[in-house]
Structure formats: C-alpha cells, structure tokens
Amino acid sequence: RTIGDRIGEAKASGNLGNTLKILGQFDEAVVCCQRHLDISQEQGDKVGEARALYNIGNVYHAKGKHLSWNMAQDPGYQSQEVKETLQKASEYYERNLSLVKELGDRAAQGRAYGNLGNTQYLLGNFSEAIAFHKERLAIAKEFGDKAAERRAYSNLGNAHIFLGRFDISAEYYKKTLQLSRQLKDQAVEAQACYSLGNTYTLLQDYDRAIEYHLKHLVIAQELGDR
C-alpha cells in the first residue's frame, strides 16, 4: 500500500484470506478475498480475478463443510445456513469456471469442475455432481493427473450410491482401487475396499462384500490404523 503496488496488495489480501480460511475465520477470510477480487477487477487482471473467485468459493466451501460436520448431516439434508453457504461456494466456482474458460486454462477448469461436483454433492444434487465430476475426470485424463483421476472416480462412485445405482458405483470404486494401487497409496486403497464392501452389501452380494472388507481390514492392520 505504501508504494502504491495495487497488484501486490491484491495478492497479499488473497494470501491473508487463504490463511484465515485455514484458521477457520471464514467471515474475515471472505473480506480479504473480496479485496483481492475488487483490486484485480479494477486493474483488469483477469488471472488475479479468476484466482480470487476460486478462493472465495473455497472459503464458502470450507465454511459449509465445517458447519455440516458440526451437525453430522447426510448430503442433501443440510440446514438452511449450510445450504446457503454451499450455494454461494457454487456460484463463485461457476464464475471462476467461466473466466478460466475464457482464459483457456484447462488445469484451472479441472479444479473448478471438481469443486463444483463436491458442492453439488453436499447439496444433494447428485445428477449435477456427476456431470461435473465427469468433466473433472476428462481433464484429469488429458493431463495424465492420476491422483485427480482417482479422486474423480471415487466422487462418481459416491454420487451414484445416492441415486441407488450401486452397480455403477462398484465399477467406479474398482477404478479407484486400481489407481490407488498404481499410486501406491495404501490409505486410499483401504478406503476403496471399504466402499466396495459396502456397495456389494447394498447389491446383496455378501461373499464379495466380505472379500473387500477383509482386504480393508488387512491394510488397516498393516497401517496400524486403529
């Protein structure tokens, strides 16, 4: 501010916002991220504007998750406050998405799609969540980003469960499992086995359910995860 560096001030405000978000001070975080947005718009800095929109989305997303954890609600059965907060997150991610499309930034589009999928999932809009996660998946494959691909499969599996499409969920969870093994991520591998166990229970294929729950158990024991 002293040297009149507006872009520098914008970035510093954004960093403060992100830090406050991590500290759980969501309302203060929004104020700082909004300042980042205002200055970026004033300066015609499209990249800064996109980043600020994404960050504000993240603050509302984190606030919504924080509020819903306190109430331990299932997706789609949130309080009015949680719904409004997640709706705001979604709106900012949408604005971010249209701007990064304009800028031709595919990686940023992937991030926006993933977060839109997650907010729609929490709002109980499972079909919309699936559409967004499919876009996320396509971009992850484009970049060869295996970790993002794995997350997308997992999220697609979760959303299909709530639509009662257990067989489709099982296919997505199997892809999650395959990738977690490729990535040598045992915790995620265990999680995928757990999801598959539950899905096969829903499909009433109990032998398979037992098989996957035993795999989950073995990894949990290996990791010493009580």
Please tell me the predicted confidence (pLDDT) of residue 69: 81
Task: Decide which of 114, 144, 174 is a domain's last residue.
Answer: 144
- Give the model confidence (pLDDT) of 126-144 as tens digits: 999 999 999 999 999 999 9
- Give the model confidence (pLDDT) of 38-55 as tens digits: 999 999 999 999 999 999
Query: Exposure pattern of 97-126 as b/e (b: 16+ CB <10 Å)?
Result: bebbeeeebeebbbbbbbbbbbbbbbbbbb
- CATH number of the domain enclosing 216: 1.25.40.10
Percentage of the chain lying above the pLDDT 90 cut: 94
Domain identity same for 159 and 132: no
Please say if the pLDDT value at position 22 is more than 80.
Answer: yes
Task: Decide which of 144, 177, 194 is a domain's last residue.
Answer: 144
- In the chain, how many domains are there? 2
The reply to whether the predicted model has a pTM over 0.85 is yes
Domain that holds residue 28: 1-144
Please tell me the predicted confidence (pLDDT) of residue 72: 67
Domain identity same for 59 and 73: yes
Domain identity same for 173 and 82: no
